[in-house]
Homo-oligomer: A and B are copies of this chain.
Amino acid sequence: MSEDGIASQLLQESVGKIVLVKLKGRRSVKGKIKGFDKQMNIVITEATEVIEQQSNNNDNSEKGKGQEQETQVGDALIRGDNVITIAVL
C-alpha cells in the first residue's frame, strides 16, 4: 500500500477505533486497531477471533452460515495477505 493512498488513509483514520477484519477461510477478527504497515499487516488489541462453521442442516439442505465459534485472543497480529475487507464499526 502506498503510504499516502486511500487504503492507508482509511487505516490511519481508524487507529484506536473498533474494526471488523474479514479474512480468507471464513474467519474474521474484531477489535481495536493499534497499527498497520505497508503490507496491510495489522495489530489489533482486545481482539476476538470468529470462525464460521459451515452447516449442512438437513431440513433445508442449506450449506450455509452455521454457528460461529468465538475466541478472545487479546493482542493479535493479522498477516495482510489474508485480509478480504476491513469495516470500520
Chain A residues at the B interface, C-beta cutoff of 8 Å: 1-2, 5-7, 9-11, 20, 22-25, 27, 29, 34-43, 47, 49, 51, 53-58, 60-67, 69, 73-89
Interface centre among A25, A79, A80, A82 (most CB of B within 10 A): A79
How many subunits of this chain does the assembly comprise? 7
Indicate if the CB atoms of A37 and B73 lie closer than 8 Å.
no
Indicate if the CB atoms of B81 and A87 lie closer than 8 Å.
no
Contact of A27 among B20, B53, B63, B84 (CB under 8 A): B84
With known contacts A1-B41, A69-B64, A81–B81 Cβ distance under 8 A:
yes
Contacts of A9 in B (CB 8 A): 35, 43
